Amino acid sequence: MSKESDLPAVAGQHQPQDGGAEAPPARGGASRADGRGRRAEPGASPCNTAPGKYNPDTFKPLRHGVDSLYLSYPGLVAEEWDKRLAKLKELAQSESEAEQALAQVAIGEHLFEVLDKGRGRFAYVLVDNCYRLQVSNGRAKVLPLAYVQISSEYLSAVGIGQAEAALDFVVDTLGTVQEPANISRVDLFADFTADLRMDAFDPLEDWITRTQSIDLHYRWQKFSGWSFGMGGTIAARLYDKTLEIEKKSRKFYLHELWRAAGWNGETTVWRMEFEAKRDSLKELCVFKVRDLLKLQAALWGYHTQDWLRLAIPSATDSNPARWPNHPLWDQIAAVFHDQGEQPRLSRFTPARLPADERLFLHGLGGLTSFMAREGIEDLGEGVGSFLHEAERFHNARHDKPGQGFERYVARKVRLKNRRYNSVDNRPDDDET
């Protein structure tokens, strides 16, 4: 869910959203007459596919829990940290790559990249593979000390409790925290497989929901999912997670977790996901992380029973509230009844390291292009010639000794150290 939005783009018309925002364009979108499950307004064109038969025995739950968690820490940044982060932000904005590479800060076990821009009214942004912290400056009295997104990969590795405890230490280091963090947003999810066409539902009849927006999504020449109420205080998506990983997010670590739960590596994995923002969470008495830990199942139950459900329309009953659930929906709604331990990632690093695919497929593009240009087919000869010609090219661009090829490579490596949170570029005596 908006991380920035796992769900692919859509094509077609658009409908107004809850809260005044416009919905994304959609094909087959349906606008309902009210927010409590009445039938869609006349004139909307229903989905042209017929619901298929469904064997509930094909349903296999793989994982469920919290995908992303956004926390807000009331408090004030310390004056010395305000100055320190301001200096690091200036380094990140420098035209000198050598100075940009120094825009890092170590807090506990985390080596953060300090970005060259703030976000919204927050002056500073610190990022690694665990957290994305937006930190206020000393003049922003009305803002929280920090607004933080905990990454889904980190939550998959250590769980909510450990992730919050480690984050508390980081934020406490930056200033004075006045109270435990407030939850600003939580994304609950369930991953599953089922032998059923997920585009076989009629958006005007089968979905009973409080929102006024239902959209079908198509991407990469296939149906990719549904979205509901985007832009409101509650939103939902049912989408092809295997497709989204392959084409967009590249979160292949999820494959390990699915296999641990019995996935065969080939079947389409669907994700049902609900995004709940602060206003809706307050109504459900979910304020702090301790509340979320106790009320996860109840929160999922509200979303899948009161806010959205997939029903079987009745020809003899005009009241959709009395229509029975589709058996698939009963199974999705019951996923959080399992209180067992969820599979955890066996390996995790706070560094944002590039995947082998990026290095050894895309990264060889320059070498293979050079070999084709020069008519070289032997790999050893190609590598040697490539490095020789690269050295000649870079040395010719600089008159001063030591400013050529080796200096260029060293400079780029240090920039990647910062971006990947892999190596601390700062001198041992550097307090910034």
> HSE (CB half, 13 Å, CA atoms) of 170?
29
Helix (H, G, I), strand (E, B) or coil at 172: helix
Query: Among residues 32, 29, 36, which one has the least CA distance to residue 14?
Result: 29
Query: Among residues 107, 165, 157, 154, which one has the least CA distance to residue 135?
Result: 107
> 182 near 277, Cβ under 8 Å?
no
Residue 406 in tokens: 């080796």
Residue 19 in tokens: 């809260």
Helix (H) or strand (E) holding 188: strand 182-193
What phi and psi, each to the nearest 5 degrees, are found at residue 324?
Answer: -70, 155
Q: What is the DSSP letter of 128?
A: -
For the whole prediction, is pTM greater than 0.85? no
Contacts 24+ apart (CB under 8 A), 226-231: 226/198, 226/201, 227/7, 227/10, 227/24, 227/26, 228/308, 229/17, 229/18, 230/17, 230/21, 230/23, 230/24, 231/17, 231/18, 231/19, 231/20, 231/21, 231/22, 231/23
Integer angstrom CA distances of residue 326 from 49, 113, 353: 16, 47, 42
Per-residue tens of pLDDT for the chain, all 432 residues: 444 334 333 333 333 334 333 333 333 344 333 333 434 333 333 443 435 589 999 999 999 999 999 999 999 999 999 999 999 999 999 999 999 999 999 999 999 999 999 999 999 999 999 999 999 997 777 899 999 999 999 999 999 999 999 999 999 999 999 999 999 999 999 999 999 999 999 998 999 999 989 999 999 999 999 999 999 999 999 999 999 999 999 899 999 999 999 999 999 999 999 999 999 999 999 999 999 999 999 999 999 999 999 999 999 999 999 999 999 999 999 999 987 778 899 899 999 999 888 899 889 999 999 999 999 999 999 999 999 999 999 888 876 655 788 889 999 999 999 999 999 999 875 655
